[in-house]
Amino acid sequence: MNHFKTYMLLAGLTALFMGAGYLIGGPTGMLIALLFALALNAFSYWNADKIVLRTYGAQEVDESHPEPLIRNYVVDVVEMAQKAGLPRPRVTVIDNVQPNAFATGRDPAHAAVAATTGLLQLLTRDEIRGVMAHELAHVKNRDTLVMTVTATIAGAISALANFAFFFGGSRDEEGNGGGIGGMIGAIAIAILAPIAAMLVQMAISRAREYEADRIGAQIGGDPAALARALEKIEAYARGGYVNHDAERNPATAHMFIINPLAGKGADNLFSTHPSTQNRVEALMRLGVGQGTRRPAVPVMASVAPPSNPGPWG
């Protein structure tokens, strides 16, 4: 997505935030929402990545880590970043059983990648490389800023909608006190604002994920490994491996390589990601050109928890 579209996206989110402010507090509420949105945009530009990493308890790791799985993970990320012509990103681990990953940061020089312990335990090394190559593609394409800032602002919109339930009826008939109109407006924004924010997330996520898959396949050099990883992550996410932090912070769902929220992963109206099947098919078309064969064994079957929980317990 070019810079113009990025700015339009942020402007749209700001306008949505202002609309919510108007429905809650009239012109004064809209002005307050505008000032708050401008401050939030500025704060998010510099700090949204730190907020997201802190939300998920991400811990930075390096090649000196005593656990071999983590050492290999760091080594592979650093090697692929060099291959992609990127500065070394911060490499982090999230203690969560659901296999998943995301990238964040305002630009490649301030980027961080995050993988869950579930991802490192449950996928093979080449599949982990494929996933992290996808995340480095987001960094290379400069997707991480808008994805992270969108998560922060969308979360604020949802919070404002919840606030509307309690204070939406504070205006009078002239717009300065209580009344049915204010309550109706509050209910409307409480319902519509999260949906509108979700639609914006959908618009930015689907095209970005396909492009990151394509570039990630080039960086990792193995489209089939990324395809297998996507199928496995989808199966685990839908097979009872709940990401409780993501459930508490749904505005961040679009940042992950696979939607971490419970429910169907289909390419439908309220999905933040493209269909995993469509993504796998696109990757395998890339693989045909490179002589890569489709995985022989389907991995979208039911999944049982690993018998050995690994070093994280």
168-204 pLDDT, tens per residue? 544 444 544 445 555 666 666 666 666 666 666 666 6
**The pLDDT of residue 71:** 97
Q: Burial letters for 260-290: b for 16+ Cβ neighbours within 10 Å, e otherwise?
A: bbeeebeeeeebbbbbbeebbebbbebbeee
**The pLDDT of residue 45:** 75
**The pLDDT of residue 4:** 67
- Closest CA relative to residue 97, chosen from 126, 123, 77: 123
Q: Where are the domains of the chain?
A: 3-289
Give residue-wise pLDDT tens across range 66-108: 999 999 999 999 999 999 999 999 999 999 999 999 999 989 9
Q: Which residues contact 40 (CB under 8 A, 6 or more apart)?
A: 17, 152, 153, 156
Q: Tell me if residue 173 is catalytic.
A: no
Length in residues, the chain: 313
Whole-model pTM?
0.77
**The pLDDT of residue 144:** 84
Q: Answer for the pair 47, 103: CB distance below 8 angstroms, yes or no.
A: no
Residue type, 47: N
Beta strands in the chain (DSSP E): 59-60, 90-94, 101-104, 112-116
- Closest CA relative to residue 111, chosen from 97, 265, 85, 128: 85
Q: Which of 127, 135, 231, 234 is catalytic?
A: 135
Count of beta carbons in the 10 Å neighbourhood of residue 227: 27
Q: Which residues in the chain land under pLDDT 50?
A: 1, 169-173, 175-178, 265-269, 293-313
Query: How would you class 94 by CB atoms within 10 Å of its CB: exposed for 0-12, middle for 13-18, buried for 19 or more?
Result: buried
End-to-end CA separation in angstroms for the chain: 40
